Chains A and B, each alone.
Chain A
């Protein structure tokens, strides 16, 4: 991104120029293409984008749990508390996982081991990182269950005895059990019933504030971002196309893709007959278009967009846009 942001010394985590590919039967899938962002202590960043934009890959790369093969980190660095996570040994990385950085997964139905009691699954992460007896770990696990609103006497029960929302609470309890510095929440409410989505999301935000944990929230729902994030990065085809403070982005969106996303949200105030979907489909990551990867779907695309490198421009202080004609789209 720009030089100013790179110098930010308060950053807890800063990801720089990250590139990740998947190799599958000869074809190379460019999942993440030069992504940079950072996050300060206690703040939360929203990563917004369509399915397949590379959001989950970014989170898994930070945590170092990408399946390799087929995934491979080509370049970039992930600096966390002064150390590049990509350069740590597997043993050092294990110390970080679960303790310093933890993750809430998308699908609570499959994220818990069906054969181990939920309490033991929480206690596992505690006894791995805290120097304590099994009994103390179990005690801590019970506290965590209470904290996410599950009675501690359900410790011995198995995942299949819990509903989806309850399972996600257990996953959250696992993620927060060791007071991590950074929480990666990968679409934590997508797989849940609409009625409990808000409940779970509120709980995550509340606990995040209470424990003063930084959070990267991955979602495709701008509404969720509006409620829980401080900064927002909009991702398209493995690139951040727009990056700004939440207020700035919502009041003053610049990139045609971001505008498209806003255009496809139903509004309560304006009377609109039809939503405006973004025309076309996300590009095939095996074969990304040359130039700006959004140009085939962009209403403002010119010859210049089809070739050559597009670079970031700063629309307002701290508001970066990856577009050739930022001013154009503002008028539109």
Chain B
């Protein structure tokens, strides 16, 4: 098991390097010269030339990439912003907490509410419970996250005045963002759990359990649920990615100073190092989450466990 985790972490390294390379390349070969962006219009060619030299922009691409990676790995240094010269590392670290808190809480909601909802729907198939929860779930996956956030804001902040409309602070500031972001997660988890559960309920081993004289309750919660959760766990990483994306966009709605609003402002001001740093950082976090999901997966499914202890390749 430990061997597998180590192997999995080692596998993450080339992927993250690939992401870094990709992003670095896109940002470098993008039209627009950083030096002219920093100095603004009206800068003399000499000044631009001088700054290019200072920023090391004249060095070959691969050398710059190597330096950049070395900075991140050894000093956790993402460089400085073109626009205001601030350290990108401190910006990311300061802002990341807000983003991650919302995304993670939303994920907890998605699993904690979506999975039971899906089970209820599957067990009571074709009853009003099933129809209602699936109709709600269908709406849930069809709403833009940020729009749902706006609607919540109209109702709870502007009309009822019981929640703060924007900003950060105590727990009450997190209620609406989390609700907004988790909605699509809850809905998709519920849909996934339901269909996976319906599939499992038809399986022969469920009949075996019935034939043993086991109660329906134990059959559902012990025999069926564990099996039904496998595809749900496989999708949990992807769902987290979607929720993370939703959080980034929704930060604008609630004026949360997270990574999302940082990225949006950086894009508008063409602050490439800031965008680059944020994206690479998000990729790393996402990678860790995927790793956790994969480990969880092996805990639940002995077949995968066996695959890895034998040193076999992961089947996709």
Contact = CB atoms under 8 A, between A and B. Distances in A.
Given A113-B223, A113-B227, A116-B223, A99 B213 contact: yes
B207 interface: yes
Most B CB within 10 A of own CB, among A111, A112, A161:
A111
Interface stretch (B24-32, B171-179, B238-246, B296-304): B296-304
A105 B208 contact: yes
B213 A96 contact: yes
B17 to A, nearest CB: 35
A158 interface: yes
A161 B306 CA distance: 9
B226 A115 contact: yes
A98 B302 contact: no
B303 A171 contact: no
B227 A125 contact: no
Contacts of A10: none
A179 B310 CA distance: 38
Contacts of B46: none
Nearest to B208: A111
Interface string B31-57: 000000000000000000000000000
B246 to A, nearest CB: 32
Contact of B205 (A102, A113, A128): A113
Contact of A103 (B211, B215, B300): B211
A224 B229 CA distance: 41
A128 B209 CA distance: 11
Interface in B290-315: 300-303, 306
B94 to A, nearest CB: 43
Contacts of B223: 113, 116
A160 B204 CA distance: 15
Nearest to A91: B215
Given A110-B203, A113-B223, A94 B213 contact: yes
Nearest to B222: A116
A125 B226 contact: no
Contacts of B227: 113-115
Interface string A93-111: 0111111001101010011
A137 B242 CA distance: 46
Contacts, number: 73
A115 B211 contact: no
A221 to B, nearest CB: 21
B212 A125 contact: yes
Nearest to B302: A158
B265 interface: no
Contacts of A112: 205, 208
A62 B204 CA distance: 17
Interface in B47-101: none
28 contacts: A60-B207, A65-B210, A94-B214, A96-B213, A97-B211, A97-B212, A97-B213, A98-B214, A99-B213, A105-B208, A110-B205, A112-B205, A112-B208, A113-B223, A113-B227, A114-B227, A114-B301, A115-B227, A115-B301, A115-B302, A116-B226, A124-B214, A128-B213, A158-B302, A158-B303, A160-B306, A161-B306, A174-B212
Interface of B: 202-205, 207-215, 223, 226-227, 300-303, 306
Given A111-B207, A114-B303, A115-B302, 18 more contacts: A65-B211, A67-B202, A94-B215, A96-B213, A97-B210, A97-B211, A98-B211, A103-B211, A113-B205, A114-B301, A114-B302, A115-B300, A116-B223, A124-B212, A125-B213, A160-B303, A161-B306, A174-B208
Interface of A: 60, 63, 65, 67, 94-99, 102-103, 105, 107, 110-116, 124-125, 128-129, 158, 160-161, 171, 174
